[in-house]
């Protein structure tokens, strides 16, 4: 981690207000999974093309996210069955700023991700209830906390301000019975209005033999914590995670 922090300190920084220029609440997300051992080299190569988000002199920020689902895990099952027009509902806390949000992500049948959110410290408030009812087919009463994730995140924005990307690491998943950690893993997500392979970051990853691989933190948490649920769709990803763990 020391080497990563040293590299991050060489980046030119941007503020939260500046990075809002590339918020992309309607966007295309492209994910990549790779071993954390490669992160330092990737960050060095990306430096000429990207700024880094800095908040209170911190460039690696801590997040806590709680994912909610129904009694029968209908949101997870929709993903497992390959259904588009699907939802994720979560609360997210930004540890460094202590800000908390309720977020709803909708994946359309055109492969677009639409995210809506409100600032709230109380998931069970009337404002939360109304927000969920307005923006999803679910009601607050039918939702239960299923997976809590904790991770560190680096946020980069292209120096053209036409792309934003996040790199998550130090991931852990837990429920009220179990905790599972993936210290060997990095997940990068490139966020664009429309997918473009001209992204410098995507080019860098390709140079390291890293190819696109979709990986949902929520579904991964479900796979690790709820072994009784069907997970056929995710077996190739779970095998990749096992290989990365064995190679670390």
Q: How many CB atoms lie within 10 A of CB 69?
A: 24
Encoded tokens for 112: 């677009």
Q: pLDDT category, 2, cuts 50, 70, 90? A: confident
pLDDT of residue 35: 96
Percent of the chain at pLDDT exceeding 90: 83
Type and span of the H or E element at 51 = strand 50-53
Distance CA 183, CA 152 (A): 11
Q: pLDDT category, 25, cuts 50, 70, 90? A: low
Q: How far out from the chain centre does Cα 18 lie?
A: 21
Q: How many CB atoms lie within 10 A of CB 102?
A: 24
pLDDT of residue 90: 98
The model's pLDDT over 27-66, given as tens digits with 9 standing for 90+, comes to 788 999 999 999 999 999 999 999 999 999 999 999 999 9
Q: pLDDT category, 24, cuts 50, 70, 90? A: low
pLDDT of residue 194: 82
pLDDT of residue 228: 95
**191 in Cβ contact with 156 (< 8 Å):** no
- Domains in the chain (CATH in brackets) are 2-247 (2.40.320.10)
pLDDT at 23 over 80: no
The model's pLDDT over 101-122, given as tens digits with 9 standing for 90+, comes to 999 999 988 878 899 999 999 9
The model's pLDDT over 120-147, given as tens digits with 9 standing for 90+, comes to 999 999 999 999 999 999 999 999 999 9
Find the Cα–Cα–Cα–Cα dihedral 59, 64, 70, 71, rounded to 10°. Answer: 140
pLDDT of residue 29: 86
Average pLDDT over residues 207-218: 94
Residues 6+ apart with CB under 8 A from 243: none
Specify the pTM. Answer: 0.92
Average pLDDT over residues 76-98: 95
The model's pLDDT over 164-206, given as tens digits with 9 standing for 90+, comes to 999 999 999 999 999 999 999 999 999 988 888 889 999 999 9
The Cα-based distances of 188 to 93, 163, 240 in angstroms read 20, 13, 15
Type and span of the H or E element at 218 = helix 217-225
> Can you give 186-205 as a three-state secondary structure string?
EEEEEEECCCCCCCHHHHHH
CA neighbor of 194 nearest in space, from 93, 110, 78: 110
- Helix, coil or strand: residue 172: strand
């Amino acid at each position: 981690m020391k080497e990563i922090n040293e590299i991050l300190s060489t980046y030119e920084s941007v503020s939260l207000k500046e990075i809002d220029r590339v918020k992309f609440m309607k966007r295309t997300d492209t994910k990549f999974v790779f071993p954390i051992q490669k992160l330092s080299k990737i960050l060095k190569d990306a430096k000429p093309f990207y700024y880094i988000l800095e908040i209170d002199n911190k460039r690696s920020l801590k997040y806590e996210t709680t994912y909610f689902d129904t009694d029968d895990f209908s949101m997870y099952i929709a993903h497992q069955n390959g259904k588009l027009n699907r939802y994720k509902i979560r609360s997210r806390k930004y540890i460094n700023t202590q800000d908390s949000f309720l977020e709803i992500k909708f994946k359309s049948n055109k492969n677009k991700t639409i995210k809506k959110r409100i600032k709230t410290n109380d998931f069970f408030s009337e404002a939360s209830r109304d927000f969920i009812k307005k923006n999803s087919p679910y009601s607050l009463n039918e939702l239960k906390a299923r997976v809590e994730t904790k991770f560190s995140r680096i946020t980069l924005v292209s120096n053209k301000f036409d792309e934003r990307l996040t790199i998550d690491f130090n991931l852990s998943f837990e429920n009220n019975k179990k905790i599972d950690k993936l210290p060997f893993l990095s997940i990068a997500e490139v966020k664009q209005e429309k997918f473009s392979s001209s992204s410098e970051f995507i080019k860098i990853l390709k140079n390291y033999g890293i190819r696109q691989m979709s990986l949902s933190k929520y579904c991964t948490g479900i796979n690790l914590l709820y072994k009784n649920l069907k997970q056929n769709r995710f077996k190739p990803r779970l095998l990749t995670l096992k290989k990365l763990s064995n190679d670390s």
